[in-house]
């Protein structure tokens, strides 16, 4: 199941914080997170921004491992991360149906984020 724009927005806010994102236009009436702020450019007096990948983009899983997994480890520790990744790998590799690895990891990380509120 593909997440809604609101779920994606809440997830990346958990990863980067609200100040780490720039919000774009509405897509189908929902706010769309378009960019991650990378650094302040003093000469231009503005943020350098990086486009955010959509869940069906091949870069999405890269962003999850690069940004979200370290945040998860920071909050829950290495042992919890190990368990989460083993469960994720088993779900992806042992499923009888075709599973999108990026979406499976997104939902695994998001479910823990949701239960810890």
Distance CA 58, CA 104 (A): 14
User: Does an H or E element contain 75, and which?
Assistant: helix 69-76
DSSP symbol at 83: H
Instruction: Tell me the percentage of the chain whose pLDDT exceeds 70.
Output: 70
**11-57 pLDDT per residue, tens:** 888 888 877 766 665 556 555 556 666 656 666 666 666 777 888 88
pTM of the model: 0.77
Mean pLDDT of the chain: 81
In the predicted structure, residue 116 carries a pLDDT above the cut 70: no
């Amino acid at each position: 199941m593909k997440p809604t724009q609101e779920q994606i927005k809440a997830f990346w806010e958990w990863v980067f914080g609200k100040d780490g994102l720039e919000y774009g236009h509405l897509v189908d009436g929902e706010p769309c997170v378009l960019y991650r702020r990378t650094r302040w450019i003093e000469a231009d007096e503005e943020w350098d921004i990086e486009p955010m990948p959509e869940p069906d983009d091949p870069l999405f899983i890269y962003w999850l491992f690069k940004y979200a997994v370290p945040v998860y480890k920071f909050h829950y520790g290495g042992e919890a991360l190990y368990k989460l990744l083993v469960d994720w790998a088993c779900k992806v590799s042992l499923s009888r149906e075709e599973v999108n690895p990026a979406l499976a990891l997104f939902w695994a990380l998001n479910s823990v984020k949701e239960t810890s509120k």
